[in-house]
Amino acid sequence: MAPSAPRTRAAAALRMKQIALDNQGRTIRCLRAQLATERRGLATTKKELEDTQVALEASHKVISGLTEIGLSMSKKIEKMKVKKQQVKANHVECHQKFQARIHEAEDSMQAQHLIIEALVEEKDSLLQTIQGLQEANNAPAPFYDEWEDEPEEQPEEEEIEDIPLGEGEIDDE
């Protein structure tokens, strides 16, 4: 029995080595499958990262564009504010000039009114003097009654005549 024992041991050792190799082969196949799965996962992750990078770059361009637009609008708003202030200042200046002209015209009218009153008083005085001289000289009085002030002429307002619309005319009202 001695000769079969070493064969059995050798066969058992070979069988054990075969099992170990089969286990290693399975382990290698399993690891390769895991590696392939990991590679696919990494490829997917890489693709997602690339897409995210593209989206980030696009977002950056949009943000840059919006920032430029915002800056441009800010500049325009500032220009508009300055222009508005200038227009307001011009309006105030024109208003002041018109007010000054109105006051000048009022002062001129008041001065003219005072001159007219003085002239009317002088006229009254001259007429009384003339009348007194005529009475002193026994001359016929040119006036039947005491003289009357001439009524001041008031400019008549022009009335706008309503013209009836004829056929074919356009009414803009």
pLDDT of residue 61: 94
- pLDDT tens-place string over residues 34-70: 999 999 999 999 999 999 999 999 999 999 999 999 9
Which distant-in-sequence residues (6+ apart) come within 8 Å of 118 by Cβ?
Answer: none
Provide mean pLDDT across the span 143-166. Answer: 56
Indicate the pLDDT class of residue 143, thresholds 50, 70 and 90.
low
**Confidence bin at 1 (pLDDT 50/70/90):** very low
Residue 170, token pair as written in the block: 């356009």
**Predicted confidence band at 136 (pLDDT cuts at 50, 70, 90)?**
confident
Residue 94: predicted pLDDT: 94
C-beta of residue 126 within 8 angstroms of C-beta of residue 143: no
Quick one: pLDDT at residue 172?
52
Instruction: Label residue 7 by pLDDT band (50, 70, 90).
Output: confident
Q: Which residues of 101-114 are buried (b: 16+ CB within 10 A; e: fewer)?
A: eeeeeeeeeeeeee
Residue 114 has pLDDT above 70, yes or no: yes
Query: Between the CA of residue 75 and those of 66, 72, 80, 128, 142, what are the distances in Å?
Result: 14, 5, 9, 78, 83
Residues 6 or more apart from 127 whose CB is under 8 A from it?
Answer: 147
Mean per-residue pLDDT of the chain: 85
Report d(CA 34, CA 92) in Å as an integer.
84
